[in-house]
Structure 1
């Protein structure tokens, strides 16, 4: 039975893949950094600099080229190499499957406030557009009384 990816988390420059398997991961058959692709929509590119496999804890640690910001949303893909080449596998030699655009849970706290990017008016609607590495909170609404709108000469 091949190892199965259970979770992916990131904290600063360390992205940890945790696998489930009946045995340990094979530390001697480490996948190349080029087998992984990390993406972060709208943010600076990220590459994998180093891959470290821990057999007993069943984890693959990826050292990233830059720190990940709090709230930044990452996706990770892994391309399993051809049979016989180094890749993620268990001690029995079973290769882990490839995966595409797997969501990565970001453990870094988002401490950057959104910044107003633009404000446009269309009829009775005023649209405020904010820049931020994450989506705005859709649950907590701001009261209308928190805004003051004025028009010169009107």
Structure 2
């Protein structure tokens, strides 16, 4: 009677180890890339803090994506700085509407900017949530842009995205 029990236990353990790995494989990431344009639209004080020692402003941008991501985004980049010293808190939140790898919807991402000192900057975008066909999207994108006109930057993006089950 022990032999069927041992066989059943071995099968159960084998299935237990195979099922989670199948789920992980279903979430494999896909490399994405394309063209990107970002335009400065406004600069506004956050919580009426423009006349204080530490000031935070929302720098608003509109972005256009082409390539594996196709659509537009709105971003409020919170730029905090101490008027006597250096910048303090620089992170933004972006809402993208369009398609990613042919799937349509909206996603929200946190964005960090880093000046390159030549009029250009690098951004990193971490996708945190989505809607519709992008409801289960996650990923990270890196953007390299240079200023082509006053308040307009153009460049490329690349990174990886995946859809969770």
TM-score (norm 2): 0.30
Q: Comparing both chains, which one has the higher relative contact order based on Cα–Cα distances under 8 Å and sequence gaps of 6 or more?
A: 1
Which structure features the higher share of helix residues?
Answer: 2
TM-score (norm 1): 0.31
